């Protein structure tokens, strides 16, 4: 609360709502919005809506009421991330000697910046897969522009994220691969979403539920758990099992990676291949884990790290309730949504399957590398003065 009530304005949270509204009122712009998994577990808090009212579909209806053209789901690109990052992991495992280990997840920009500044020698251990936010932006201005048959420069790409670090991520000089400016033009936090709805006098409680738009509104249960610590690891293991065994596991087979402890470990075997996994959330825990790896006290193959305690459910852009941490409550909501989703494997997302068939060809293809992967060495950390 001190951010909004600071009398001097010294603690100023950047507010990008006006940029979105300017695009909404620009007849040349096609405003395409993606909403991150963790936002759906928290957006009602800042509006005083009970969880039973603050559903995913009412959230889609509320964002559409602002006047944007398309309301899509970052769950689509979370599934796409699993296809790329999961296959990248298996590819690295196949040529084990050519890589340093473990491979680290790369979907959290807070963590990527931490690694690059504190342990730059480990930068090439990050997965090259872009975060779901950035994959979505690149898809919106390439594949989806082709679907709409419009020039990509007309697409104004907005993300609604549980995160303040996503604003810096979308502005990185390497995040413009679709050739039409930034792949994500503006990133709003969950708090900004709530403020935007209030400013536009939208009362979500009065709106009937609506579906996300298609095709980029389709997402699986594996995607929605990206918002909880351990979710990326679990989703990746589900699809890795399918790739290696040619059949799906029980979708809950890897729930050993769930939990709120700051550091967790799991030894998993898939098709006879042992995978040593670790998960950390909170950068203090990330540092402890890395120091153990550096000291040779622990060895892993795949490590998921999220900067915020509890993962994006507890993200820095989520609504703030004084004295209460809601990451675990929100995370439980995401696991509930996973359980209820008829599709629980990223490789079964019909829109992801169509995107590969019609545009990307296959995971790790040339086009996928161009648009869905990045070079973490290609930008420098800002130097402190």
Using the rule CB under 6 A, is 163 a contact of ligand SF4? yes
**Binding characters for ligand SF4, 34-63, by CB under 6 A (x = yes):** ------------------------------
Shortest approach of ligand SF4 to residue 357 CB, angstroms? 30
Give me the residue whose beta carbon is nearest to ligand SF4.
Answer: 315
Figure out which of the listed residues 108, 115, 129, 155 binds ligand SF4, where binding follows CB under 6 A: 108
**Binding characters for ligand SF4, 141-160, by CB under 6 A (x = yes):** --------------------
How far apart are the C-alpha atoms of 127 and 93, rounded to whole Å?
13
Query: For residue 55, which of 342, 349, 340, 350 has the smallest C-alpha distance?
Result: 340
Using the rule CB under 6 A, is 327 a contact of ligand SF4? no
DSSP three-state, residue 163: coil
Figure out which of the listed residues 306, 355, 368, 372 binds ligand SF4, where binding follows CB under 6 A: 306
Shortest approach of ligand SF4 to residue 166 CB, angstroms? 6
Using the rule CB under 6 A, is 268 a contact of ligand SF4? no
Cβ count within 10 A of residue 245: 12
Q: Which secondary-structure segment (H or E) carries 4?
A: helix 2-5
Using the rule CB under 6 A, is 221 a contact of ligand SF4? no
Comparison of 162 and 331: residue with beta carbon closer to ligand SF4: 162
Query: For residue 211, which of 358, 368, 9, 57 has the smallest C-alpha distance?
Result: 57
Figure out which of the listed residues 46, 215, 316, 363 binds ligand SF4, where binding follows CB under 6 A: 316
Q: Are 349 and 132 in contact (CB under 8 A)?
A: no
From residue 39, alpha-carbon distances to 61, 89, 130, 223, 326 in Å are 14, 28, 19, 13, 13
Figure out which of the listed residues 138, 180, 216, 308 binds ligand SF4, where binding follows CB under 6 A: 308
Number of residues that bind ligand SF4 (CB under 6 A): 15
Query: For residue 194, which of 315, 63, 324, 310 has the smallest C-alpha distance?
Result: 63
Which residues, 6+ apart, have CB-to-CB distance to 294 below 8 Å? Answer: none
Interface ranges with ligand SF4 (CB under 6 A): 108-111, 162-163, 165-166, 306-308, 311-312, 315-316
């Amino acid at each position: 609360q001190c951010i909004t009530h600071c009398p001097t304005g010294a603690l100023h949270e950047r507010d990008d709502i006006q940029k979105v509204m300017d695009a909404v009122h620009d007849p040349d712009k096609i405003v395409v919005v993606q909403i991150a998994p963790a936002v759906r577990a928290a957006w009602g808090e800042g509006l005083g809506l009970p969880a039973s009212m603050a559903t995913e579909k009412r959230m889609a209806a509320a964002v559409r009421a602002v006047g944007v053209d398309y309301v899509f789901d970052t769950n689509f690109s979370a599934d796409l991330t699993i296809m790329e990052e999961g296959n990248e992991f298996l590819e690295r495992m196949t040529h084990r000697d050519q890589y340093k280990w473990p491979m680290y997840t790369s979907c959290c920009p807070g963590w990527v910046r931490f690694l690059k500044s504190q342990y730059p020698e480990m930068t090439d251990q990050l997965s090259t897969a872009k975060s779901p936010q950035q994959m979505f932006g690149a898809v919106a201005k390439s594949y989806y522009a082709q679907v709409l048959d419009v020039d990509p420069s007309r697409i104004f790409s907005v993300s609604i994220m549980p995160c303040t670090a996503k604003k810096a991520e979308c502005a990185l000089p390497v995040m413009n691969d679709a050739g039409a400016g930034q792949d994500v033009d503006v990133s709003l936090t969950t708090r900004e979403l709530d403020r935007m709805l209030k400013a536009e006098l939208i009362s979500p409680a009065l709106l009937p539920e609506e579906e996300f738009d298609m095709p980029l509104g389709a997402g699986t249960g594996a995607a929605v758990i990206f918002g909880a610590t351990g979710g990326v690891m679990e989703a990746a293991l589900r699809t890795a099992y399918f790739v290696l065994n040619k059949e799906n596991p029980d979708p809950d087979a890897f729930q050993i990676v769930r939990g709120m402890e700051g550091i967790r470990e799991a030894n998993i075997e898939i098709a006879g291949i042992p995978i040593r996994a670790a998960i950390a959330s909170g950068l203090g825990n990330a540092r402890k884990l890395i120091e153990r790896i550096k000291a040779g006290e622990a060895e892993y193959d795949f490590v998921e790290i999220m900067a915020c305690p509890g993962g994006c459910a507890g993200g820095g852009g989520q609504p703030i309730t004084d004295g209460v941490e809601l990451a675990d409550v929100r995370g439980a909501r995401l696991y509930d949504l996973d359980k209820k989703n008829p599709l629980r494997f990223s490789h079964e997302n019909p829109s992801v399957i169509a995107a590969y068939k019609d545009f990307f060809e296959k995971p790790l293809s040339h086009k996928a590398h161009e648009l869905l992967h990045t070079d973490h060495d290609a930008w420098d950390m800002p130097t402190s003065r």
